[in-house]
Structure 1
Amino acid sequence: MGRLGSGVAFLLANILMTFYINRSAFVILPFWEIAGAIALLMMIPKSGIRFLRRFVDYGRARADEQQYYGKRVQELTAGRLDEFAGVFHHLSKVFGRISEQNSAKGREELSRIFDQVADHVCRGCPLYRSCWERDFYNTYSNLVDLVAVCEEKGSVGESDFPPAMLRKCLNSGELTEELNVVYHAYRSNLNWQQRIFDCRRLVAEQLDGVSQVVKQLAAELDMDVRFRNNIEEALRLELDKSGIYAKEVLVLEKSGGATEISIVKPACQGGRECRRHVEGIVSRVMGKPMSCLSPECIRAGKEDCTLNLVETRRFEVVTGIARKPRQDILTSGDSYSFAPVKDGKYLLALSDGMGSGARAAEESSAVVSLLENFLEAGFDQNITVKTINSILMLRSQEEMFATADVCIMDLVGGTADFIKIGGVPSFLRRGNKVEIIRQDALPIGILEEVQLENISAPIQDEDRIVMVTDGILDAFAVMGDGERALADFIATLNTINPQEIADSVMEEALLQKDGVAKDDMTVLVGRIWTPC
């Protein structure tokens, strides 16, 4: 009614109470006081009304309190993760400084060679004082030149001595032998010191990498989640009207706008009350289709049932896969995944490890499994890819990398995001037309920072997404432009079955290569359809 309507209603109520209770002209509250109160109410700004409502509206106060404590828990958790990241970063710096100091000590070892040679060979020589006192700089310079010869040839002989030094030295043979022994010991010691330095440097890099991963996870955790208390109360009321007692109702609204509802109620013992009644009630209150996250009853026979409801997906996906390892190799270096992930999204992923065989399969499998785990946990797709890149950088000093070709479909919103890091183009067939989706980027695990640029496209009923590895594209390149040739071939296929599409593309690729797979080949196809 607003403030004016509330004031008029209060005035009429006072008149009625005066008539029915007092039955006289004496009013309970004077009209001028009521008029003054209404005028004062009209003068209070909306911000003031909202401020006063916090003290009298218990439901709103409780919602604000929940929001406050929920935000505090998020901030504290993110803050603790940031502290852990700082500790790892500090440890990285400490290891880095120790390695630098040890490297400097390694260079100082060179001067000890000359001291050892002079002590063992020259100390008892009659010309010792002449060489190491009066002619010190020439002697030292000659030994430096001989060490340089050792580094170049691996050893030194009397023929490598400067002529003036060879004429003057009385123990050239013994000096040569001692110099070779001492230099070889120095090189062996230096090699071990370098290995220790490399190990410590690797530990420093890994600690710094762990610090970056923890920071990224902390940033993802510090997201905006809101508790919708008003919707919770509305759901409780509507469920109660339908004879359904809800012990707990929790409504979460995430930063992206996705809503998730959790309801704890007495179990219906397999009566599928959730499907027959709860989904419809929740959808009506929310004003949009909502459905249970799990299609099957997993609480039958238990006292309570926990229902998790999310927005109903507009689309569903069915997939097909075709693979062929390189000739004479039993294990394909390509890995793939297709799976539903959090918030009504669906993942299609391909990864091609460097080379072929078991080692390539290990790298590509790591990329795919990490993608699944991070996205299923609800992490942002960009942070997921950056974190996986950091993890791969930590795994080994050797040059190991893998491509990441990812398509994440939002089956609620009706969009598809393509992320390509070293992956070859993908193909979107709609009707009789085929769109080529490409993006140039280095494979994952090469650079410390990966530059991501998502390619977004709307999806429709009966769209087909075809993703391939470079072995397939190389086979079609025999006909000229491999991308265009593959797109034209996909356009000629008269089937909507994703497995038949994958098999047809694989057969045509092998036909172009005379039946011989010269590289690992993988085709992943996803068909999008609208449920009835």
Structure 2
Amino acid sequence: MKARRLIKTAIVHALTFAFMLAGACAEVLTVRPFGYAMHYAVLLAGGSPLASAYYLAASFIADPGLLSFAAAGGTAIAGAAAGVIISACRRIKRKRMWRWIVHTLLQAPLCALLVYFTGGTVLAAGLTALIGTAAGAMMSFAVPLIAGKGLLAPGTLGSAGAGVFCIVLFSGLGSVSPFGFPIAYTVFAFSVPVACKCRSPETGMLLGVLAAAGCSLAGEDPYVFAALAIAALVCRAFCAGARPIPAVALVLGYCAGAYFFAEADPGYTGAAATAAGAALFALLPKRAVKALSSYFRPAGELTDIAAAAGMGRLLPERLVSASEALGEMSALLSSGGGREYAADCVGDALCGVCATCSRGELCGMRENVRALAFDYASGGSALKSAVLGEPCMSGGRMLKLAGEVMREVRGRAEVAERERRNAESYAVRLESLRRLVAKMADELAEDYRFDVFLSEKLRRDLPETGVACGGCLVTAKRRGIALVPRVVTAEEAEKGISRVLGGVRVERLGDAGPVWQAAAFAPAPALDIVYAFASRPKDGNTVSGDGYSVTGFGTTALVSLCDGSGSGRPASRLTQTALSVIEDCCRAGFDAGEGVDTVNSFLASRPGEEFGAMDVIAIDLSSGEADIIKAGTPPTLVVHGDTVTVIGGSSLPVGALETASYSLARRRLMPGDCVVLVSDGVSDVLRDLSASVSASLSSNVRRTAEGILSEAASCGCRDDMSVLVVRIVEAESA
């Protein structure tokens, strides 16, 4: 961290010195004031006093001599004095307008006097003070440089500030040509396509034209402006292509302009310098382009993303803390439960009887009363044998009292056991909730890592598909939110976003004001499912006790088949309740196994014997991975080509025990695979279920389900019969 901070500080100071040198190298009268303006702007923007020292050194390098050093020194002194005044007055330090006034009163008159006394005319002195003050004030509100405190993104530049900055920078760079190599052309050929790609094509073109004006102003050559302006326009025309395309177009545009305007100078040297800058842009790593895109992001979007990223860091921390607290609660509840007090209670009662016995110490039972009480509480007969074998006058009273105490203790034990069951049930639910909260924290931490490059691409390109965009945030996994007009439907938004980012699915539309609505989208899964359900009630009933559910949550498809205990309407109500509970659990974010645990706890806590055989399959439509959960159901058949795989499972249904007992199998399903679920009414009458499925299998899932059911029903419907057939298919492209 310290090394990164030192590197960042070094870059800031190096750029500050470079800007000072560029401004100081402008020797033409109409450009020279910008040297003062650059220094003025840096100080007004809240920069370090080191900026004055940089300006002093840069001026001496650009024009060695006592007079130049004196002029720059006076300017530096004025800036330092203004900095001292600003630091001493808190009100001035807070308000940028006060800083501007203080600097103007101190620096502008001194600049004019120094220029006049160092050989300049009155007109030159006045122009220096006037232009320097105006340009410095403008840039102080726009130039993305705060020396000693870091760099602000150029996205904070307004249009006017960006234009002035380009003119100042390139007018200074135009005077710097080591070994006859025009540095300004290289910087121009690199920065124009960067601005087109990372900000917007129009902004890149405008800044390119203004930079060309700065280069022309430095050399007093209008043909240079024409050639570079043509290069910027050509780059704008081809900026939508891959990175090498606008770079090559810019070089060709410059060469065409230089050839057309024969007086353009330099000729081949300028082409070589332009090609060097374009090549540098074309060879930039993708990571560097993303960093530049973040650096050049407009101020409003930069603020929004910073706020979202801050919330993304905060929410996972709070959720993790909440999950830890829930973990402690679940551990506390799990450690509770009923205790066995029978032995102690019976022992206390018997000791009380012995204490009032008339035989006192002569009785041999007093020494063994605790052991006898423990044996009696455990269901033994040692106490009865001891009373009958020992001439104990209080034996009958002891047996009667022990029986009463045991009945009372058993009542307490039953209450304690119920409390223990409730505690364990709550502990299981809280543990599931804790895991869910931790999972949400991880997902939030990942989802809030927004990809600046993709966000900017969607914001820029979505209107070209016919869907206006009021702002967007996109993660590297192509999940995010886009503001689209309220008149746009989910299908239209999905189609437009997919054309920009690739296949996505709009999961929901939310109200975002009178004009906009928020479209939440995620990558479209590669797979989909088609299914069919066929059922027939037990002979004599009009309602089947079997039921099914097929629903989707994001990229997960949940398939469930439940056979409630009994038949008719009571079994149907039980089945629908169990299916509804597991759907709600999965919709809330729990996995399928935790949903089955919840259903088991619900059924086990109800009075009477209510249970249900349940098949649950959770299919990840992105990868095809499927979790197949079986609890008391017949085998599940997975058909892949000509191969039929039988998946067996647990023999106990949900609700039969306090703790869920189910089997879990994981399979990877491919397009064309078929999964067949049946109830016990079908499996009991079909001796070879695999052969029946193979014989009924067809490309139509409805025919497959009805074929299996018809074969089973031909033997008589002695129980409810149900068949659910699910086929994996490739998803349709958006």
What TM-score do you get using the length of structure 1 for normalisation?
0.68
Q: Give secondary structure in 2 for the equivalent of 1:458.
A: coil
How far residue 486 of structure 1 moved from its aligned partner, in angstroms, is 2.6
Q: Which has the larger radius of gyration?
A: 2
1:402-413 aligned within 5 A:
402-411=612-621, 413=622
How far residue 524 of structure 1 moved from its aligned partner, in angstroms, is 0.9
Contact 1:364–1:403, Cα closer than 8 Å, also in 2: no
- Aligned pair in 2 of structure 1 residues 405, 54: CA closer, same or farther (>3 Å)? same
Partner residue in 2 for 1:189: 408
Contact 1:333–1:359, Cα closer than 8 Å, also in 2: yes
Partner residue in 1 for 2:470: 247
- Counterpart CA distance in 2 for 1:149 and 1:353 is 43
The structure in which a higher percent of residues are strand is 1
Contact 1:420–1:439, Cα closer than 8 Å, also in 2: no
- Aligned pair in 2 of structure 1 residues 194, 232: CA closer, same or farther (>3 Å)? same
Partner residue in 1 for 2:596: 388
Q: Give secondary structure in 1 for the equivalent of 2:531.
A: strand
Partner residue in 2 for 1:521: 721
- Is 1:465 the counterpart of 2:675? The answer is yes
1:287-366 aligned within 5 A:
288-293=502-507, 303-312=515-524, 317-326=529-538, 332-343=544-555, 345-353=556-564, 364-366=575-577
Partner residue in 1 for 2:707: 504
Q: Give secondary structure in 2 for the equivalent of 1:505.
A: helix
Higher relative contact order (CA 8 A, sep 6+): 1
- Counterpart CA distance in 2 for 1:424 and 1:293 is 35
Contact 1:252–1:261, Cα closer than 8 Å, also in 2: yes
Contact 2:550–2:558, Cα closer than 8 Å, also in 1: yes
- Is 1:376 the counterpart of 2:595? The answer is no
How far residue 274 of structure 1 moved from its aligned partner, in angstroms, is 5.9
Q: Which runs of 5+ in 2 are unaligned?
A: 1-181, 191-210, 222-265, 267-272
Q: Which one-letter code corresponds to 2:645 in the other structure?
A: I
Contact 2:372–2:382, Cα closer than 8 Å, also in 1: no
1:100-499 aligned within 5 A:
100=339, 103-104=340-341, 106-118=342-354, 122-123=357-358, 128=359, 132-133=360-361, 135-137=362-364, 161-162=388-389, 165-166=390-391, 175=394, 177-222=396-441, 223=443, 224-225=446-447, 226-241=449-464, 244-252=467-475, 257=477, 259-268=478-487, 275=491, 278-286=493-501, 288-293=502-507, 303-312=515-524, 317-326=529-538, 332-343=544-555, 345-353=556-564, 364-379=575-590, 383-389=591-597, 392-393=600-601, 396=604, 402-411=612-621, 413=622, 415=624, 417-422=626-631, 423-429=633-639, 433=642, 435-441=644-650, 443=652, 447=659, 452-460=664-672, 464-477=674-687, 482-491=688-697, 496-499=699-702
Contact 1:264–1:305, Cα closer than 8 Å, also in 2: yes
Partner residue in 2 for 1:76: 318
Q: Which runs of 5+ in 1 are unaligned?
A: 28-33
- Counterpart CA distance in 1 for 2:707 and 2:397 is 73
- Aligned pair in 2 of structure 1 residues 146, 510: CA closer, same or farther (>3 Å)? same
Q: Which one-letter code corresponds to 1:467 in the other structure?
A: L
Give aligned-pair identity as a percent: 18
Q: Give secondary structure in 1 for the equivalent of 2:364.
A: helix
- Counterpart CA distance in 2 for 1:442 and 1:389 is 16
Q: Give secondary structure in 2 for the equivalent of 1:475.
A: coil
- Aligned pair in 2 of structure 1 residues 471, 275: CA closer, same or farther (>3 Å)? closer
- Aligned pair in 2 of structure 1 residues 47, 76: CA closer, same or farther (>3 Å)? farther
How far residue 458 of structure 1 moved from its aligned partner, in angstroms, is 0.6
Q: Which one-letter code corresponds to 1:341 in the other structure?
A: F
Measured against aligned partners, the alpha-carbon deviations of 1:25-70 in whole angstroms (never above 9, x if no partner) come to xx9xxxxxx9xxx9xx99xx99998999699544696656633431
Measured against aligned partners, the alpha-carbon deviations of 1:434-489 in whole angstroms (never above 9, x if no partner) come to 522415446556556866441112113xx543221233222112xxxx33333333
How far residue 525 of structure 1 moved from its aligned partner, in angstroms, is 1.9
- Counterpart CA distance in 2 for 1:243 and 1:138 is 97
Q: Give secondary structure in 2 for the equivalent of 1:501.
A: helix
Contact 2:592–2:618, Cα closer than 8 Å, also in 1: no
Root-mean-square deviation over aligned CA pairs: 4.9
Measured against aligned partners, the alpha-carbon deviations of 1:363-392 in whole angstroms (never above 9, x if no partner) come to 65454323322333455xxx3313532562
Contact 1:371–1:384, Cα closer than 8 Å, also in 2: yes
The total of aligned residue pairs comes to 461
Q: Which one-letter code corresponds to 2:432 in the other structure?
A: V
The equivalent position to 2:332 in structure 1, one of 82, 90, 96, is 90
Contact 1:371–1:385, Cα closer than 8 Å, also in 2: no
- Counterpart CA distance in 1 for 2:375 and 2:472 is 80
The structure in which a higher percent of residues are helix is 2
Q: Which one-letter code corresponds to 1:340 in the other structure?
A: G
The equivalent position to 1:22 in structure 2, one of 219, 226, 234, is 219
- Counterpart CA distance in 1 for 2:634 and 2:289 is 56
